[in-house]
Amino acid sequence: MPERHCIALIAHDQKKDELAEFAGRHAEVLARFRIIATGTTGGRVAEACPGLDVVRMKSGPLGGDQQIGAMIATGEVQMLIFFVDPLTAMPHDVDVKALMRLAIVYDIPMALNLATAEILMTAKKN
């Protein structure tokens, strides 16, 4: 059986409710993939989707974004859904930029807001 593709889920604090609600609504589609997430986001996603196996990396500010970036570079992550807070300054802004940069370099689908994430889920439904 081929290895399941992997989706990375991340949300900044002000966007975690939105991502948890999104994940809960799309739990069935997400269950077909390997799911990884940054630490705190992963806890929220696991709560919203009982039974979904969520592998949690470190929290974003402590290196989680970089871990996921490395997994994009090694081909282990094929899609990034990252609900970004555009209104709050982040101490780890450089890590966020580096992660987005690698998603562009390796040309994986990357949703940075709810509207785009919905389109990606529709694309993955069938």
Ligand X SMILES: O=C(CO)COP(=O)(O)O
Return residues touching ligand X (CB under 6 A): 10, 12, 38-41, 59-61, 64-65, 92, 96
Instruction: Please tell me whether 43 is known to bind a ligand.
Output: no
Which member of 13, 53, 65, 95 is catalytic? 65
Residues in Cβ contact with 2 at an 8 Å cutoff, skipping those fewer than 6 apart: none
Query: How far apart are CB 126 and ligand X at their closest, in Å?
Result: 30
Instruction: Please tell me whether 12 is known to bind a ligand.
Output: yes
Task: Judge contact between 64 and 80, C-beta under 8 A.
Answer: no
Which amino acid is it at 74? T
Query: How far apart are CB 97 and ligand X at their closest, in Å?
Result: 10
Q: In what order do the strands lie in the sheet with 110-111?
A: 54-56, 34-37, 6-11, 79-83, 110-111
Task: Judge contact between 111 and 15, C-beta under 8 A.
Answer: no
Is 65 among the catalytic positions? yes
Question: Alpha-carbon distance 50 to 70, whole Å?
Answer: 28
Query: How far apart are CB 125 and ligand X at their closest, in Å?
Result: 26
Annotated binding site: 12, 16, 38-41, 59-60, 92
Residue ranges of the annotated binding site for substrate are 12, 16, 38-41, 59-60, 92
Just list the catalytic residues.
65
